[in-house]
Every structure is written in C-alpha cells, then in structure tokens.
Amino acid sequence: MPVNILMPALSPTMDKGNLAKWLKREGDKVKAGDVIAEIETDKATMEYEAIDDGVLAKIVVPEGTQDVPVNQLIAILTQDGEDPKTAVAAVTAVPAPRAAPPKAAPTMTPVLQPAPVVAATNALVAIATPHGHGNNRVFASPLARRLAKDAGLDLGRLQGSGPHGRIVARDVDTAKSGKGGKGGTPEAGARSTIAPPSDDKIRALFEQGTYDIVPHDNLRKVIARRLVEAKATIPHFYLTLDCNIGKLLTAREEINGAAPKVDGKPTYKLSVNDFVIKALALALQRVSDANVTWTEGGMLKHRHSDIGVAVSIPGGLITPIVRRAELKSLSVISNEMKDYAARARAKKLKPEEYQGGTSAVSNLGMYGIKDFAAVINPPHATILAVGAGEERPIVRNGKIEAAWVMSVTLSTDHRAVDGALGAELLGAFKALIENPVMMVV
C-alpha cells in the first residue's frame, strides 16, 4: 500500500512550513529513520525522518516551496513489490487534505488521514469516531471531543477545519472564543471583535511610491498572532522596582577572573543575565505560589523553575528554556545559554528546547533601555523585563551617593499571580540579585 508523506506539524505554532530541501530523490530507496527532507518551521530548520521503508516514488512538492500547509501531500512512498506508477496514480486519485487555517491557539492536534492512504507523518495521527446516528454524525478528533465536553459545547454546532471538515482542537478553541459556531453556540456573540483595517485602507494613507512592501515570513506571522492572543486573553499587571547590583558586578568580575582555562580560554564567562536567570529561578522556588500556569480547569503549580530567555534572531525572537534552572550553577546556565543563542540564530533549536517553561526573562539592557514592560509568553504566568545597569544617584543614610542600579518590571497574568503575590516574588528576586552570594548557598 502506498504511503502518503504529508507536511508535518513540527511545532504547536506551525500551520505552514517551507520545504527547504529534499535529501532523497525520486526512485531512491528509503529506510525508516532516514532523513528525507529539511523543513523550515516558524522557529527552526528541522530534519524530517521517514517512518517506513520503501521507495520515494513521487515528489509532489519541490524543494524551495514556501508556505506549504500542514497536512498537505508532499511526497509518495511505495512499498517493496509495488509498481510506482500504479501506486502514484492510486494515491493522487484520493483528494488531498484541505489546508488548515491559522490556529486560534497553539495546539498539537491529531488529524485523520484520507483512506485508504496510510499517513507517514508521526504518532500524532488519531482516528476520529462518529458522534450521533444516521445522517447526523459529527466527526471529531478525541482531543476535540474531550475539550468540547469540558467546555460544555455541542459538537454538532461547531464548524470543522480539519481534513474533510473534521472538528479538531483549534475549532473548539475558536468556538470558546465565540467565533466558531455554524449557527451560533452558547458562547457565540459573548465577545465582540473589531476587525483591523484592510491592507488597502492602510496603504491608501500613504503616497504610492514612498514605501516598499516586505512580505511577512512565517516567524513574524506567528509572533504577531501570539502577541495579539496574549494581550487579548491575558489580563496583564505590571510591577517595577530598582535593584542595586554593585555586589553582583563585583562578584561577576571575581568569578570570571578565577575561571579555569582550557587551551588558554576560560571555561565560562558569566553575564549579568546569567545571574538574573538564576535569581528568578530561585525566587520562584521561594514564592512557589507564583510558579504557576493558568488553565480553565485548575492551576498548574510547577515543582521546578524552567526559565525561558528571549533571544533576538533575524526577523523576530525565540525563547529557549533553561530547564530546572534553580538546580544549575551559574557557569552551567551561562554555557547553556551561549549554546542556545548560537543555535537559535542558526534556526537549529529543537521544539522541546523552546516550548513550555514556567516563566521568562527579557533583557534589553544591552541596548541601553532603562525599563520596559514585556508581554507574557503563554503558557507562562510571569515574565521579567530587565533594563540596563547604570550608575545613578541614591540616598543612603541621608547622603547622596552613586550606585549601580538596574530596573526590572514583572508582568503577571493577574488571573494566576495577583499584585501582592507578584510583589512578593519581585521582592524575593531583589533580595537574591542584590546579594548574589545567596545564590550559591
């Protein structure tokens, strides 16, 4: 039986990808585990491995093709003994899955592939079951059924966007926001939305020939969508305070000076941001009620501090995660972040290296920014925005003196971390960052 190779969903935020390169050619034999293509997602370039043995009978989407929708047929694999021409003809006679529209929220959604073709995507394939009887059957993925049940939604009133109109998780998310019903749902109309002005109306405000149009790439589209979702669905609350980092700068200089060397190079070089990551991780352990994620069903209270760190890359940013940062030394955090930053800029991070996390740090101090407020990156409930360390006048014992001061702003999801709890967390951070010796005891 021929195997349909579809554009895979390699990250929760991916709805399209670029087929960068085919590493196998038509007629090549393929073994399970062979890397057959390179796929550019919104965040990284990833290798696509075959999960079946066979012969690459037909390349449907040529390399270099941009914006290939997830689940679109990209190639056909035949089994031993099958005639490639007959198999290709049989497969191409089956309608290809519809391109999925942009998702209302990031989700890893199981999909049903068209019979009788066997999908060669990954273990996310799930068989949807009928709902109801006779001609009133509703086809939906198991995840969509569970989410709809939890939300009290009638599947029969939802519009499916999956293959052949199947209801998938993003359709339930859309319906919960009041925008996804066929003829209205209990939530329909609960929220009013204002459509942004069209491109034509915006361009009409400017004289023709005075601007250039730079098309959005996948990364910029995803960032824009997630920022809108975050600000529209998360009630942001902001807390700012100043930290005296004089002791930190002294400790940093002494630690870096004492770093052992290999081939004449120090094995680590700590930055102020490394101290910030460690201090936030420990503060979340001290104020554990703030180390949480909001869900409609209940609060997720995390045992470890997995700290995302915003890294600027061409066209946007990505947030690799230092897992269990509270348990790691400053030198380990420093070297881990250098590796993450280098691979992030080369788009070589794996999804598990930038998905999830319990909080995040965004540092613009290197650009001379004094203070700012960052947008929370779901599923986090907090993010710490760090400004530049600079000499400022302070009053101590009635006298004005100079000190190295750094302003930080904590953005919180007010559903999960209210003002008092956020202030407690920020106070714990301040105590650690101003007395860095407390990070190593």
CATH number for the domain running over 3-119: 2.40.50.100
Query: 3-119 with 234-440: one CATH topology?
Result: no
The two tokens of residue 411 are 């953005």
Residue 427: its pLDDT value, please?
Answer: 97
Distance CA 385, CA 372 (A): 6
Query: Which stretch of DSSP H or E encloses residue 175?
Result: helix 169-176
Residue 398 backbone class (left: φ over 0; alpha: ψ -120 to 50; beta: rest): left
Residue 96: its pLDDT value, please?
Answer: 45
Residue 391: its pLDDT value, please?
Answer: 95
Residue 143: its pLDDT value, please?
Answer: 76
Percent of the chain scoring above 90 in pLDDT: 51
Instruction: Look at residue 128 and tell me whether its pLDDT is greater than 80.
Output: no
- For 372-412, how does the pLDDT look when each residue is reduced to its tens digit (9 = 90+)? 999 999 999 999 999 999 999 999 999 999 999 999 999 99
Residue 331: its pLDDT value, please?
Answer: 96
- Encode 340-389 in three state secondary structure: HHHHHHCCCCCHHHCCCCCEEEEECHHHCCCCCCCCCCCCCCEEEEEEEE
Each domain of the chain, given as residue ranges in start order, spans 3-119, 234-440
Instruction: Look at residue 364 and tell me whether its pLDDT is greater than 80.
Output: yes
User: Three-state DSSP class for 116?
Assistant: coil
- Cβ–Cβ under 8 Å, residues 26 and 59: yes
- For 323-348, how does the pLDDT look when each residue is reduced to its tens digit (9 = 90+)? 999 999 999 999 999 999 999 988 88
Residue 274: its pLDDT value, please?
Answer: 97
The catalytic residues are 414
Whole-prediction pTM: 0.64
CATH number for the domain running over 234-440: 3.30.559.10
Pairing of β 359-363 and β 382-396: parallel
> Which amino acid, residue 362?
S
What is the mean predicted confidence (pLDDT) over 290-307? Answer: 96
- For 190-233, how does the pLDDT look when each residue is reduced to its tens digit (9 = 90+)? 344 456 788 888 999 999 999 999 988 877 888 888 899 999 99
What is the mean predicted confidence (pLDDT) over 250-260? Answer: 95
Residue 183: its pLDDT value, please?
Answer: 44
Strand partners, 30: 54
- For 59-114, how does the pLDDT look when each residue is reduced to its tens digit (9 = 90+)? 999 998 988 998 899 999 888 777 777 767 766 554 544 444 444 433 333 333 43
* Mean pLDDT of the residues in the chain: 83
